[in-house]
Chain A
Amino acid sequence: MTTPTMTNEPWRWTIAETAEKLRAKEISAVELTQAHLDRIRAVDGAVHAFLRVTADEALAEAKAADERLARGQDLTPLTGIPLALKDVLVTEGITTTAGSRFLEHFVPPYSATVVKRLRAAGAISLGKLNMDEFAMGSSTENSAYGPTHNPWDLDRVPGGSSGGSAAAVAAGEAMGTLGSDTGGSIRQPAALTNTVGLKTTYGRVSRYGLIAFASSLDQIGPFTRTARDCALLLQHIAGYDPNDSTSADVSVPDYAAQLTGDIKGLKIGIPKEYFVEGTEPGVVKVVEEAIATLKTLGAEFIDISLPHTKYGLPAYYIIAPAEASANLARYDGVKYGLSLRAEAADLEDAYMRTRQAGFGPEVRRRIMLGTYALSSGYYDAYYKRAEQVRTLIRRDFDAAFAQCDVIISPTSPTVAFKLGARVDDPYAMYLSDLFTIPANLAGICGVSFQGGFSEGLPVGVQLLGKPFDEGTILRAADAFQRVTDYHTRWPNLAAAAKPKGATKAKKAGGKK
């Protein structure tokens, strides 16, 4: 199962193989972590996946992991594995910005449940990753701290809102990362960066400590380079949390054990509504080839219909902003974060100045959209109707899953677009999430994996699964990866990478 790798470049390894090497003492967690810190120093100037690299903390955690490995006790496949976190997950004592100017200096007093779980498993956090402000966007250009660049073409976006999480894994800056998916914010960037991105079933992973965008849609999930690595990460973040009343008390299966490679007889639905005009021919071609590959593995395909798909996007752009308008009301300049109250004439003026200065244009746009949709006299026409659509979409999936086990589609209608191309056209930007949004509205799970390339850029294939059936979509993605090599391909960042000497010098200076 090991692929030929250069031992001096451990950042190319998968989590699964690295876990074995750590146990075999072929490498220490400190060495592994240092290799990633070096890689970050080399390429992140060009990629800008990280908002904050916590090198000292990471090396301290790595040292603790090495001690744990030496004892040989409490080992998990994540012990000593360098990961990184989307900056929407709060980390105690480490600045967490959610990509917003408002939280530029916000140091949380607690850590998210997933952060604690990863730490308990012995994983190492390299730092915090760039994102669209408050997870609102599909390109990571809405970050208050500058965009992230797609490692496959630095002039293009990595997708969003978890663009930093996707780019970091694609560029070898972390072995796995966590992102959040509200309307496609994990799957779409995974598709655009040749990574695996899993949107978990609503309730599968605790949201406690995830800075909320749209509470009924948000879910945390992993980015990795293989389906197996994805299963390993999922294993340690899934499960009921008494601090999150919407987390589900559903037992967590052994996900890796489900990756048998066998998908004979697996029924895969092809929804006609997801194969329509507007999707790039290169994307369609890759998905069709993926279908052919899966067929050779014994999967059975049937045509299905999800008739209310077209209403998904408008319903999403009412429900998500509505919830966001309330979720973001706490950023008022009274308790923490940015406050311009000192220069304000009165209370209302303080609110207006603070929120005007703290939020970027897309966030302000969505707050206004949501406030409008909930306003007296408009609630029934917008919010209530959107909720009705949501019920219809959920029923679409219920009916579909009565016929098939999983559903296949393109993840994104296009490959990665150029930076700046859609900034002034919010609607075009919103269309990026056409195929990903319905899963959030229905609360089901979905994975995007590497289907191939179009014009040299990655194309993602999406598999949607039944609620709490992450094991099956990961099994299909893993089976696909066993017979393909798209997931093993790397972007060429040699030109972007800083010369090694410079890196070394920086490292010497940066280390204690």
Chain B
Amino acid sequence: MTATTKAPAETDYEIVIGLEVHTQLLTQSKMFCPCDAHYADDAPNSHVCMVCMGMPGVLPVINQRAVEYTIMTGLALHCEIPELSKFDRKNYFYPDLPKGYQISQYDLPFCRNGWLEIPVDGSVKRIGITRAHLEEDTGRLLHRTDPATGEAYSLVDLNRAGIPLLEIVSEPDMRSPEEARLYMQKLRSILVYLGVSSGRMEEGSLRCDANISVRPRGQKEFGTKTEIKNMNSFRSVQRALEYEAERQIQVLREGGRIVQETRGWVEAKGVTVSQRTKEEANDYRYFPEPDLPPVVLSRAWIDEIRAKMPELPDAKRARFMSEYGLSEYDATVLTDERAVADYFEATVRDVTKGDLASRAKSAANWITGDLARLLNAAGSDITQCKITPAGLAGLINALDSGTISGKQAKDILERAFASGDQPTEIIQREGIAQVSDAGTLEAVANQVIAANPKAVEDYRKGKAAAVQFLIGQVMRQTKGSAKPDVIQPILVRLLDALKE
């Protein structure tokens, strides 16, 4: 059951990891006020109002869409959705927190006791979800230094303050940094599928904190844990946890003790460093938010939300395998991102030749092969791809009908990818079509034979390679639009006729 990790010290210690993931929700407005939630790179404090600035006398109003997204996520994670939920105040002072408390959820979150599955060693492992609750994001501090005096100061930007934030807390069920990364990837995939999150870790709209501890193999009790912050990519999740696991094991091996603390991952140095010990930890003094009545979640509304939910990655992968006869590998790659899966299905619909399985196979090959390579090289993703699914299907259809060669197809794909013209447009505009007309080819072959007496002589002497050379010459003359297997019999017939 337990997966192996690359950490060499893992032989006598077991790693235990739980993750706390925060995602901003893709609502139009903020969590408790009407401000536009899409602040991106807008000027500081341009998406603010009395409520999210914490003016005296203001009151919060719950964004129903954020609650809906939370419940949708809870259902996707197989959580229980209690009928009664409420918001609480989490109290602490910081300049990015305008009210001096964050409206969050404490003992009655919207979602609890769920799970998701990750692939481990060829089977699946279930990771428990303790809870998922809704809260508001904080503002941001911009740290500056006065160029004249050298004095450091901070500016407060409240554009982010009040953006709906969903926190998803896992059970300490992961046993390796790799499992943690797989969990993160799976969770992201689900959130993006649901359309509730942009899933962008690098932008901070999806964030991850980890609790990690180690214990001697066979020991039942958990070891002392540390909390790791500042991991801004899937890769850094795995790297940071690999580092931290090894650090903890090292400390224990040397007879030391793990200090319960918060540690930050320093990407550039590849290390975690202590930020705050437990003694300095805040007492958040949670209590029920008196400005918001408890939330009653009717079963009818939950059913309505359930009915609206899209197909999720696991179900889609299974369907791709059964419906299209795809391999598990292809199905996994194609369903990792909802946009890729949608692109694939749209492409298959427009491919005309062959049965469903063969149409799916060629669409899958192009999407996971050449197209993926081009997207990778350009550093973009399928949502930004200029070639439409219909365009790609047109290319596949031209290839299947023998109108163009494989080489031409790759060439057209590249040009279409760069220019934004659809492949079928390029084929029609440039009159590119494979030369398969025997009369035209015979004329070209005769020219080539006349122009290359040396090769003809070699052929007479029995050198087979001479034919390959002459085939190459014909292809050159036809600019690659003739297939070698069509040229060869024509050439051989003409050469043999010369022998006689």
CB of B285 closer than 8 Å to a CB of A: yes
Give the residues in chain A near B55, CB-CB below 8 Å.
90, 108-110, 336
Give the residues in chain B near A146, CB-CB below 8 Å.
none
| B287 in contact with A330 (CB, 8 Å) | no
**What's the minimum C-beta distance from B51 to chain A, rounded to whole angstroms?**
9
CA distance A112 to B95 in the complex (A): 26
| B89 in contact with A211 (CB, 8 Å) | no
Number of A interface residues in the complex (CB < 8 A):
43
Assess A335 versus B57: contact at CB under 8 Å? Given A347-B95, A375-B283: no
CA distance A246 to B290 in the complex (A): 8
Assess A96 versus B56: contact at CB under 8 Å? Given A246-B291, A332-B100, A371-B285: yes
CB of B61 closer than 8 Å to a CB of A: yes
Which residues of B48-95 are within 8 A (CB) of A? Answer: 50, 53-62, 89, 91, 93, 95
A-contact bits for B279-301, CB 8 A (1 contact / 0 none)? 00001011100111100000000
Give the residues in chain B near A328, CB-CB below 8 Å.
100
Give the residues in chain B near A323, CB-CB below 8 Å.
287, 290
The main secondary structure of chain A at its interface with chain B is loop
| A374 in contact with B287 (CB, 8 Å) | yes
Give the residues in chain B near A332, CB-CB below 8 Å.
93, 95, 100
| A329 in contact with B91 (CB, 8 Å) | yes
B-contact bits for A17-33, CB 8 A (1 contact / 0 none)? 00000000000000000
CA distance A97 to B95 in the complex (A): 22
CA distance A447 to B301 in the complex (A): 41
Partner of A335, one of B59, B60, B98: B98
| A243 in contact with B59 (CB, 8 Å) | yes
CA distance A453 to B395 in the complex (A): 98
| A108 in contact with B57 (CB, 8 Å) | yes
Which residues of A343-367 are within 8 A (CB) of B? Answer: 347, 351
Partner of B98, one of A90, A212, A322, A330: A330
CB of A215 closer than 8 Å to a CB of B: yes
**What's the minimum C-beta distance from B30 to chain A, rounded to whole angstroms?**
14
| A212 in contact with B57 (CB, 8 Å) | yes
B-contact bits for A174-215, CB 8 A (1 contact / 0 none)? 000000000000000000000000000000000111111011
Assess A245 versus B57: contact at CB under 8 Å? Given A330-B98, A375-B283: no
Partner of B91, one of A98, A112, A326: A326
| B91 in contact with A374 (CB, 8 Å) | yes
Assess A243 versus B61: contact at CB under 8 Å? Given A330-B54, A379-B287: yes
CB of A258 closer than 8 Å to a CB of B: no
| A211 in contact with B100 (CB, 8 Å) | no
Which residues of B135-156 are within 8 A (CB) of A? Answer: 156
Instruction: Give the most central of A209, A329, A335: most B CB within 10 Å.
Output: A329
B-contact bits for A312-332, CB 8 A (1 contact / 0 none)? 000000000011011011101
**What's the minimum C-beta distance from B428 to chain A, rounded to whole angstroms?**
58
| A383 in contact with B291 (CB, 8 Å) | no
| B50 in contact with A106 (CB, 8 Å) | no
Give the residues in chain A near B54, CB-CB below 8 Å.
330, 335
CB of A216 closer than 8 Å to a CB of B: yes
CB of A265 closer than 8 Å to a CB of B: no
Give the residues in chain B near A96, CB-CB below 8 Å.
56
- Place the interface of chain B in its size category: 20 to 34
CA distance A94 to B455 in the complex (A): 100
**What's the minimum C-beta distance from A375 to chain B, rounded to whole angstroms?**
6
Give the residues in chain B near A326, CB-CB below 8 Å.
89, 91, 99-101, 285, 287
| B293 in contact with A246 (CB, 8 Å) | yes
Which residues of A375-398 are within 8 A (CB) of B? Answer: 375-376, 379, 383
CA distance A371 to B99 in the complex (A): 15
Give the residues in chain B near A335, CB-CB below 8 Å.
53-54, 98, 156
Give the residues in chain B near A90, CB-CB below 8 Å.
55-57
**What's the minimum C-beta distance from B280 to chain A, rounded to whole angstroms?**
12
Of all chain A residues, which has the CB nearest B156? A334
CB of A244 closer than 8 Å to a CB of B: yes
Give the residues in chain A near B291, CB-CB below 8 Å.
212, 215, 245-246
Give the residues in chain B near A330, CB-CB below 8 Å.
54, 56, 98-100
CA distance A173 to B366 in the complex (A): 84
A-contact bits for B97-113, CB 8 A (1 contact / 0 none)? 01111000000000000
| A208 in contact with B293 (CB, 8 Å) | no
CB of A103 closer than 8 Å to a CB of B: yes
**What's the minimum C-beta distance from A61 to chain B, rounded to whole angstroms?**
21
Give the residues in chain B near A245, CB-CB below 8 Å.
59-62, 291-293
Partner of A108, one of B56, B60, B292: B56
**What's the minimum C-beta distance from B411 to chain A, rounded to whole angstroms?**
61
Give the residues in chain B near A371, CB-CB below 8 Å.
285
CB of A499 closer than 8 Å to a CB of B: no
CA distance A328 to B291 in the complex (A): 14
| B57 in contact with A322 (CB, 8 Å) | no
Assess A376 versus B57: contact at CB under 8 Å? Given A245-B62, A329-B100, A335-B98: no
**What's the minimum C-beta distance from B414 to chain A, rounded to whole angstroms?**
55
| B93 in contact with A329 (CB, 8 Å) | yes
| A244 in contact with B59 (CB, 8 Å) | yes
A-contact bits for B331-347, CB 8 A (1 contact / 0 none)? 00000000000000000
CB of A242 closer than 8 Å to a CB of B: yes
Give the residues in chain B near A374, CB-CB below 8 Å.
91, 285-287
CA distance A383 to B62 in the complex (A): 25
| B283 in contact with A211 (CB, 8 Å) | no
CA distance A244 to B59 in the complex (A): 6
Give the residues in chain A near B59, CB-CB below 8 Å.
207-208, 243-246
**What's the minimum C-beta distance from A183 to chain B, rounded to whole angstroms?**
15
**What's the minimum C-beta distance from A344 to chain B, rounded to whole angstroms?**
12
Give the residues in chain B near A383, CB-CB below 8 Å.
287
CA distance A216 to B86 in the complex (A): 14
| B57 in contact with A208 (CB, 8 Å) | yes
Of all chain B residues, which has the CB nearest A370? B285
Give the residues in chain A near B53, CB-CB below 8 Å.
335
Which residues of B267-281 are within 8 A (CB) of A? Answer: none
**What's the minimum C-beta distance from A14 to chain B, rounded to whole angstroms?**
30
Give the residues in chain A near B93, CB-CB below 8 Å.
329, 332, 351
Give the residues in chain A near B58, CB-CB below 8 Å.
208-209
Partner of B287, one of A103, A212, A322: A322
| B56 in contact with A106 (CB, 8 Å) | yes
7 contacts between A and B (CB under 8 A): A208-B59, A209-B57, A212-B57, A214-B290, A330-B98, A332-B100, A335-B156
Residues of A within 8 A of B (CB): 89-90, 96, 98, 103, 106, 108-110, 112, 207-212, 214-216, 242-246, 322-323, 325-326, 328-330, 332, 334-336, 347, 351, 371, 374-376, 379, 383
Which 7 interchain pairs have the tightest Cβ spacing? Answer: A329-B100, A215-B290, A374-B285, A216-B290, A209-B57, A211-B56, A330-B54
